[in-house]
Amino acid sequence: MARNRATSLMIGTLLLAAAVLTGCSDSAEDKKLRGQVIGGATGAAVGSLFGSGSGQVVAAGAGAVLGTIVGGKVAERNTK
């Protein structure tokens, strides 16, 4: 139970930090960056739910990389 609460707190903190860090700019590059930050944070949070020990760290890292790529592509596609 404590692990689920800690994970939920981490996900919420990451998403809040991503929203604050990306600001309110409307240029295409800023939207892509916003998508990358939010995608990376979300991917890391979801990845951290898998595995244990060093496997969990690897899963979080892989989730962050994949989320950054996907988030940037989605944001880029939505600005065209």
| Residues 43-69: tens digit of each pLDDT | 988 888 888 888 888 988 999 999 999
Count of structural domains, the chain: 1
For all residues of the chain together, what is the average pLDDT? 81
Query: Do 63 and 43 form a contact (C-beta atoms < 8 A)?
Result: yes
Q: Give the residue-averaged pLDDT of 2-20.
A: 68
Q: Higher-confidence residue: 8 or 51?
A: 51
Domain limits for position 6? 2-78
Query: Residue 1: is its pLDDT beyond 50?
Result: no
Residue 18 has pLDDT above 60, yes or no: yes
> For residue 16, what are the CA distances in angstroms to 33, 36, 45, 79?
15, 14, 12, 23
